[in-house]
Amino acid sequence: MKSVKFESTVETTDSSPPYHILRVSRELVTPFEFAGNLRRVICTLNGVETFQCSLFPSKGDYFLTLSKKLRDKLRVEVGDTVRIELAKDESLYGMPMPEEFAEVLRQDLDGDALFNKLSPGDQRLMLKLIVFVKDTDRRIARALAGIELLKQTNGHFDYHAQHLAMRVAGSPNPELEMERLRSKM
């Protein structure tokens, strides 16, 4: 896999709220031959932190965002220079498929068909909702709840409904979780 290495300076956008970003020259990533709006990359910062992300268009070039958690881990702030290595992300979903979810999809062909009809962005959101928890049993519960909700809605993906269904299903005490959620409404 081809990669490019370069440096960029941490800066903020002039949006509200401002985002912390690293700029990426379009010429550097032209060899990746991105198709359409999909610009998924594997990014390594300062040689220590590797993650999958998307490049966002900006003023003829691109940028990637830096969360506070990531900035703290790298100990960087606005004005600091960061070493960047980018490689085109060739993975199917732009992130790893949790093995628990892969097994649910293998056993539920209707659910698998509905999941594969989702947009790539919705697929990633659904995967993120599942991998958010580390416990295997909770991941399985979230995967099952997510697929059931997709089937109930004929494949319509609603992030908030999915999050709620998975949160309740993956809770050690679903009844208590539902009661907590009702009290917030």
How many domains, in total, are found in the chain? 2
Res. 185: pLDDT tops 60: no
Final residue before a domain boundary, out of 57, 88, 119:
88
Domain shared by 80 and 120, yes or no: no
Boundaries of domain holding 20: 3-88
Final residue before a domain boundary, out of 88, 120, 147:
88
Res. 77: pLDDT tops 90: yes
Domain shared by 108 and 173, yes or no: yes
Domain shared by 66 and 133, yes or no: no
The whole-number pLDDT of residue 182 equals 65
Final residue before a domain boundary, out of 60, 88, 116:
88
54, exposed or middle or buried, with CB in 10 Å at 0-12, 13-18, 19+?
A: middle
Residue keyed to tokens 């947009």: 119
Domain shared by 114 and 71, yes or no: no
Domain shared by 108 and 33, yes or no: no
Domain shared by 130 and 154, yes or no: yes
The whole-number pLDDT of residue 39 equals 87
Domain shared by 26 and 56, yes or no: yes
User: What average pLDDT does the segment 36-49 reach?
Assistant: 88
Domain shared by 51 and 128, yes or no: no
Which pair of structure tokens corresponds to residue 57? 């268009």
Domain shared by 83 and 104, yes or no: no
Does residue 35 lie in a domain region?
Answer: yes
Does residue 94 lie in a domain region?
Answer: no
Question: Who has greater pLDDT, 5 or 168?
Answer: 5
| % of residues, the chain, pLDDT over 90 | 52
Residue 183 banded pLDDT, cuts 50, 70, 90: low
Res. 109: pLDDT tops 80: yes
The whole-number pLDDT of residue 47 equals 93
The whole-number pLDDT of residue 120 equals 87
Residue 184 banded pLDDT, cuts 50, 70, 90: low
DSSP output for 111-141: HHHHHHHS-HHHHHHHHHHHHT---HHHHHH
Res. 69: pLDDT tops 70: yes
Does residue 139 lie in a domain region?
Answer: yes
Domain shared by 76 and 17, yes or no: yes
**What is the residue-averaged pLDDT of the chain?**
88
CATH number where 27 lies: 2.40.30.100
Contact between 82 and 22 under an 8 Å Cβ cutoff? The reply is yes
Q: What is the pLDDT of residues 84-97, one digit of tens each?
A: 999 998 888 878 88
Q: Name the E strands within the chain.
A: 3-9, 11-12, 20-24, 40-45, 49-54, 56-58, 61-65, 81-88
Domain shared by 76 and 118, yes or no: no
Residue keyed to tokens 């960047």: 84
Does residue 93 lie in a domain region?
Answer: no
Q: Which of 32-41, 112-121, 155-164, 172-181 comes out lowest in average pLDDT? A: 172-181
pTM above 0.85, yes or no: no
The whole-number pLDDT of residue 178 equals 66
Domain shared by 65 and 109, yes or no: no
